Amino acid sequence: MSQWYLGLSTSGHDPALALVDAEGTVRFAEATERFLQDKRAWGVTPDHAPHLGAALDEAGFDRDRDTLRVGTSWASVKGAMGRPPHDALLSGADTLWMQAVQTQMQAAAGLSLLRLGLAREPVEPLRFDHHLCHAVTAAWFAPCDDAVCVVLDGEGEVGAVSAFDMRARRLTRRWRSWGPGSLGTFYGWLTGLCGFDWRAGEEWKVMGLAAFGQVDPELAARMDGMIAVDRGRLRFADEDMLRTADALCRPFGRDPAEPVERAADLAATGQAVYSAFADRVIGSCMADGAATDLLLAGGCALNSSYNGTLPGRHGIERLHVPPCPADDGNAIGAALLAYMHETGTDAVPRGDGSPFLGHMARTRTLDKMRASAKGFVIRETGGMGGAARAVAGCLAEGRILGVMRGRAEFGPRALGHRSILADPQQTGMKDRINAEVKGREAYRPFAPALRLADTATWFGRSVPSPYMSLTLPWLSDRPAPVAATVHADGTGRLQTVEPHTAPWMSTLLGALEQATGVPVVLNTSFNIMGKPIVHSVEDAAGMLMTSGLDAILVEDTLIEKPLAAS
Amino acid sequence: MTDPTATSDAAAARVEPFLIGAIARFTRQPVEAIAPDSVLVDLGLQSIDAVLLSGEVEDHFGIELDPSTVFEHDTLDSFAREIARRLDAA
């Protein structure tokens, strides 16, 4: 008999679940969208019964003997506050809808325990402060004991920013902002103005597009007036002023039907203004010199372009962004807080840094594939070293591979376990993957993965980025062009790899160096645009069949298209 | 032994001038126009102002309020006593 803790991300968007064991170790974490293959899984309960059942089995939970305590990632219920939505920037209807789904998630959290035979009557979950969940998640992944933690989010219990101090892994809140004023909302507004959809999570497209534009100082001044930053706290200007700024910025925007380039200057300007706002918040939090480590969390911590500017500024020596800084990641925070609450622990447990917390591929499906996939070439590579050599050989020939190996990553980035890989030296590789594999806009960049020890050789400095959280400028005189992973502004959103935390990618980079002479691999998520990252072997095989992928690796089995194999 | 009511009264007396000053600023009227028994809504305190006021109270007194706290009190004095209660508990 053992006590477990189930953390649920109950925002209504990006639901996810996490399981923590009796020792306070995160044993499993996964976003609902992966299991359902429905991007962002809006309005789906994070303890969706079939998903929770599969997760409990995977984590080793004994349904006959073990017990589960549930925690949610919000203390309050948005629909119960009765406040009119702030609709000067985002549609009031969307906000009301988000409030409604958050209310539903909070009400339904934990009910699946009835369905799974783990409770005889509805359980009352523990409810935790939303930004504290973000902070605890960040702390779990951070390899330090003392830090400042800043949560930059779209929303919160009372406002969209919180600052915490971590001392000996104990988190205390320094302050939180109240009232409207949100960098997440600002970026969502910018995303819409650029002709993209924040509800689909298309903020990435703005960030990528920014590299093609120029900052317009007049436009920047208009945007800068939209938010006042007072000692780190954010406050929107009054609604009339916001509507005026919106009207002034709109001519620089684009209709979704127009070419993306049209919004490049707007994207560049918005990204610059976002960075200036974020700088004021973070500068204020770091000003007292209380710490040299910064934990950055909340949805805005996915802004890798801005994150890359932080190390070395504001007294920040080390920046720690968890692999899951947005609301999906709060499942871990809620589960750990439930553990801490029930065991009277006030220090946040420290993980081993591994983001590989999700499902393993069900290799039984491979047996069926061997019998049924006529015409495909299926071969066993014989373990991690053999798989790495086989993949490296394919990449060196200019082929594009999908890899499904080991436990899935938790968070939006593919870090080598659910990744599409390619050789970044191959001519035209960026265009090929965008057009033939992922169905993305031609301008969108791809990220490199390389060993941390090689980072100084390629980027001129050694900054750890194990979860692909920051973008840095490549050295102009780098050893090889690796053009497919160099963005229009000369940067790359790098993943740094170390053997003890990412043995597969480390081995693969060694094999690739042997095959091509260059230890840099193009790494993008194993999905097509608009779909979540693949979850099942069937998802991976389906994508092989319906895209320009040349082969997939499932565990140590390589499945190649007949033409690609010949 | 200390009388808990007395402690609360003393704390409330410390909180009231802060609230009066802040509400005067939000509602653009002189502090003289605001009394402990003033009804918050009658003073013209908008719901957004009440939210921002809660943030100022948290910052100034180093306590934690719930988002709904301010809306559960009709008068300035009643809100001040709730803050005082939390100050005593902290």
| The predicted structure's pLDDT at residue A451 | 98
Taken as a whole, chain A contains a residue count of 566
Structural domains of chain A sorted by starting position, each given as residue range(s) with its CATH number in brackets = 3-137+327-343 (3.30.420.40), 183-320 (3.30.420.40), 364-565 (3.90.870.20)
Tokens 């109240």 found at: A178
Tokens 């809140």 found at: A173
CB contact under 8 Å between B47 and A176, yes or no, is no
Residue B25 has pLDDT above 60, yes or no: yes
State which residue of chain A sits closest to B71, comparing Cα positions.
A81
| Mean pLDDT computed over B5-23 | 83
The CATH number that domain B4-89 falls under is 1.10.1200.10
| The predicted structure's pLDDT at residue B1 | 45
Let me know: does B81 contact A213? Beta carbons within 8 Å: no
Residue B6 has pLDDT above 70, yes or no: no
Question: What number of CA atoms fall less than 13 Å from residue A141's CA on the CB side?
Answer: 33
- Which helix (H) or strand (E) segment is A31 a member of? strand A26-31
User: What are the tens digits of pLDDT across the range A210-249?
Assistant: 999 999 999 999 999 999 999 999 999 999 999 999 999 9
- At B3, the pLDDT band (50, 70, 90 cuts) reads low
User: What are the tens digits of pLDDT across the range A272-290?
Assistant: 999 999 999 999 999 999 8
Q: Give the predicted TM-score (pTM) of the model.
A: 0.96
CB contact under 8 Å between B55 and A176, yes or no, is yes
User: What are the tens digits of pLDDT across the range A500-543?
Assistant: 999 999 999 999 999 999 999 999 999 988 899 999 999 999 99
Residues near B32 by beta carbon (within 8 Å), at least 6 away in sequence: none
User: What are the tens digits of pLDDT across the range A537-556?
Assistant: 999 999 999 999 999 999 99
Between the alpha carbon of residue A540 and those of residues A360, A528, A534, the distances in Å are 13, 11, 6
User: What are the tens digits of pLDDT across the range B56-88?
Assistant: 999 999 999 988 899 899 999 999 999 999 998
Which two three-digit tokens encode residue A520? Answer: 């840099």
The shortest CB-CB distance from B59 to any of A175, A180, A235 is to A175
B55 contact A CB<8A = yes
Residues 120-159 of A with CB under 8 A from B: 157-159
| Mean pLDDT computed over A382-403 | 97
- Kindly tell me the sign of the dihedral angle through the C-alpha atoms of A378, A485, A434, A429: negative
Buried b (16+ CB within 10 A) or exposed e, A480-494: eebebbbbeeebbbb
User: A235 to chain B, minimum CA–CA distance in Å?
Assistant: 9
Contacts of B67 in chain A (CB under 8 A): 76, 81, 157-158
The H-assigned helical ranges of A287-383 are 304-307, 330-343, 364-372
